[in-house]
Amino acid sequence: MDSITQGVLGAAAAQAVLKKRLPRGAGLIGAVGGMVPDLDVFIYSFSDPTVGWLFHRHFTHSLFFIPFGGFLAALPFLFMPRFRDHKREVILAAIIGYATHAPLDMFTSYGTQMFWPFSNYRVKLDWMGIVDPLYTIPLAIGVFLTMKTLRTRPVRIALLLTCLYICFGGWQHHRGVAVQKQLAESRGHRIEQSRILPAPGWLVMWRSVYVSGGKLYSDGVQANWFGAPRVLPGASADVTTITDLPANAQTNAETRRRFETFRWFADGLIAPIPGEMDAYGDMRITGEVENLSPLWGLKLNAATGEARRWNPSGAQGRDVGRTLRSLFLGDDRYRPLDELEALDRTR
């Protein structure tokens, strides 16, 4: 998730365990430990987009790296006079904060290489969005109250509530998967690969992406907290593989490497970007839940076949206003699934 949330969770975990043994610094040290893994965003290349895709949520997010990362996060505090007599507690607080980072990222859709160096598999449960105020705010309140009262009860209650919220995200994801299967069946599709990804909207708005017969289908799913889910039919496109690239790109070894890295990063959910020549997008996360306007991708040079990162213009980004209106006022574009099935049968 976002670094602020990671810091708040690290602070909460350290406070819950060490507030009595390290009353003046557990939260601060845990917060630093919780944010340090995201320093891997500075492993970046302006000329090669795959560097960022490879190394963000890489070794710094590995379970194997937790003790080392926690110790590195603790180092600045070990030299502070106020912590001279609490070095063990400082290191433990930093390790606790650091240890919360990868498991929280695991619940999002980006993918986290938790088992590096033994595997480069990106663990992603798709239960939570990258940013979710309904998760972060209660946790922050608990951390603040514990800091003010020097009692661990507020932060422990906040941790319990936010853990329940994550479990609720798992239930909402399960509901979305059921809707996706029913939707595909109504179209006569056999799902070969699929994802149900949380979109901004408090675990109500979801994006359905599945592959069937070499085509990628995207739809919006509104899993209301109360009431039956509703669906917004979306778009479809041919799934892009290396053999679909221009000939000069296929023969360019560096471009092939970049594309295969991109394919691994995007879980194979790649399709041509509408309105863009020789550009292919990561269709997991898009501007709107139902469409095929991605937030990043690869752009090929038609003359040389070289690949570089593609980013959308401002007009192609997410419509935050529409999302908020959908949440508070509803969106009449969404329809009950049985209504869509009846419409398909009449066509």
Specify the higher pLDDT residue, 319 or 276: 276
128 and 169 Cβ atoms separated by less than 8 Å: yes
Q: Which residue ranges make up each domain of the chain?
A: 3-125, 179-329
The residue written with tokens 């980072």 in the block is 101
- Closest by alpha carbon to 318, among 129, 170, 61? 129
Q: What pLDDT sits at residue 312? A: 85
**pLDDT surpasses 70 at 335:** yes
Query: Residue 6 pLDDT more than 60?
Result: yes
Q: Could you report the per-residue pLDDT of 122-175, keeping only the tens digit for each?
A: 999 999 999 999 999 999 999 999 999 989 999 999 999 999 999 999 999 999
- Mean residue pLDDT across the chain: 91
Question: How many CA atoms does the CB half-sphere of 93 hold within 13 Å?
Answer: 32
Q: What angle do CA 125, 217, 167 make, to 5 degrees?
A: 20
> d(Cα 31, Cα 11) in Å, to the nearest integer?
4
Query: The whole model's pTM is what?
Result: 0.91
Residue in 283, 274, 272 with CA at minimum distance from that of residue 315? 274
Cis peptide bond upstream of 81, omega within 30: no
- Determine the pLDDT at residue 327: 66
**% of the chain exceeding 90 in pLDDT:** 72
Shortest CA distance to 267 belongs to which of 317, 197, 199?
197
Q: What is the pLDDT of residues 25-38, one digit of tens each?
A: 899 999 999 999 99
**Which sign does the torsion angle of CA 91, 92, 95, 97 carry?**
negative
Q: Is the pLDDT of residue 321 over 70?
A: no
User: Taking the mean position of all CA atoms in its chain, how far away is CA 199?
Assistant: 10
The 10s digit of each residue's pLDDT in 187-202 is 999 999 999 999 988 8
Q: Which residues pair with 196 in a beta bridge?
A: 208
**Phi-psi group of 22: left, alpha or beta (phi > 0 → left; psi -120 to 50 → alpha; rest → beta):** beta
Torsion-angle region of 231 (φ positive above 0: left; ψ -120 to 50: alpha; else: beta): beta
pLDDT reported for residue 227: 85
User: Is the pLDDT at 16 greater than 50, yes or no?
Assistant: yes
The answer to whether 28 and 51 are in contact (CB under 8 A) is: no
How confident is the model at residue 315, as a pLDDT? 46
232 bridge partner residues: 220
Q: Could you give the CA distance from residue 100 to residue 14 in angstroms, rounded to a whole number? A: 10
- Confidence label for 340 from pLDDT (cuts 50, 70 and 90): confident
Instruction: For the chain, give the number of residues.
Output: 347
Structure tokens at 119: 């595997």
CA dihedral 1, 320, 312, 128 (to 10 degrees): 20
Beta-ladder partners of 279: 299
Region 3-16: mean pLDDT is 97
Residue 84 confidence class, pLDDT cut points 50, 70, 90: confident
* DSSP letters for 257-272: HHHHHHHHHTTT-EEE
Distance CA 310, CA 298 (A): 5
